[in-house]
Amino acid sequence: MGYYEYVATCLFGLEKFLSDEIEALGYKKLKTVDGRVTFCGDEDAVARFNIFSRYAERLYINLGSFTASTFTELFDGTKELPFECFIGIDDCFPVTGSSVKSKLTSIPDCQSIIKKAIVEKLKESYRIDWFKETGALYRIEFFISHDIATIMIDTSGAPLHKRGYRPDSNAAPLRETLAAAMVKIARPRTDVLLWDPFCGSGTIAIEAAMLMTNTAPGLNRTFAAQQFDFLDDNIWKRAKEEAKDKIIQNCEFYAFASDIDGKCISLTKANAKRAGVENSIKVFKMDMRYIKTNGKRGTIVCNPPYGERMMNLNSAEKLYKDMGVAFSKLDNWQIYIISSFDGFEKAYGRHADKIRKLYNGRLKCNYYQYFKNKKVRT
């Protein structure tokens, strides 16, 4: 059984969640830097991590790192790596990557050099001059930072935020990985209602239900590494059986998902069913301005329009003001709101008790947290 060094990537701001997740899965964390965590594990980690991770974007096998301040160093360092132990004679191996704060800045040139080095290495190993590349896909990823090149193989395929339950979404979808982190920060409980009054395609409520029922996010999707010949096929069977065994049946957690748009209601219901958590979510049409508690204790977690993709800034500002008035009526509720609008607190009418910087893809946002509800300025 193989033992590898892995690199898990994530959205900026989610490194701590990812690091804790890796340790909870029983793996030894080696290093954490912006947007990535390195750890060690056996080959079962490929399947277990891809299936269980809520916060990662991709999982890579790290083939090695070396100094690469020139193209010669990049070629020689790449050629030294054991590609023949992973890539078969007919396999396809495209190269992608990035470079930051390094002398080698041309991505196309780096791609070409690395591809040539891999071909030369495989020529020596397989004693042939031409590779058809018609077999399994091994996407080679390079990352050059401060003149240190790291060469990796992507095991995930489609990004891990694509759980498979959301084939269609609304105009401004929230990354599933970010929604999972937002829910985690809000600390959901079975005896406290969680409500998203801007449900869109249902991502926040679905991720909350999956977290509370301990449903593995990757249980119903496929991964690139399932086609890798060097891995034992049984690792996927073992990981899926483990994931199914860990699902909490008859979980008492309950979430509300509402929206003013009827199309969002239909979308959320369909996505919740695909995710297998439809019994944990009540979906209904409602204008946020008329929200009522009916004596329940609860938590609002929401992603209202930012004024960037779904409405203009003036409309968004008016909406935030209305939110402040409506949410102030929710006695003993906690409120969690993500927004990229710089004037959010002024429009909402109250300063947040805590603000956390998060990223929805490349869009920098603030996560406003209100722990004790108060009346807002009107």
> What is the pLDDT confidence band of residue 377, given thresholds at 50, 70 and 90?
low
Half-sphere exposure of 366 (CA within 13 A, CB side): 14
Task: Report d(CA 279, CA 317) in Å as an integer.
Answer: 35
Question: Which domains, ranges and CATH numbers included, belong to the chain?
Answer: 3-154 (3.30.2130.30), 176-215+248-370 (3.40.50.150)
What digits encode the pLDDT tens for the residues 247-266?
999 999 999 999 999 999 99
Compute the distance between CA of residue 205 and CA of residue 198 in angstroms, rounded to an integer: 10
Could you read off the pLDDT of 304-347 as tens digits, one per residue? 987 555 557 788 899 999 999 999 999 889 999 999 998 999 99
CA 252 to chain centre: 26
Confidence (pLDDT) at 307 = 55
Task: Say how far apart CA 97 and CA 105 lie, in whole Å.
Answer: 11
Q: Provide the whole-model pTM.
A: 0.94
| Contacts of residue 245, Cβ cutoff 8 Å, sequence gap at least 6 | none
pLDDT at residue 376 is higher than 60: no
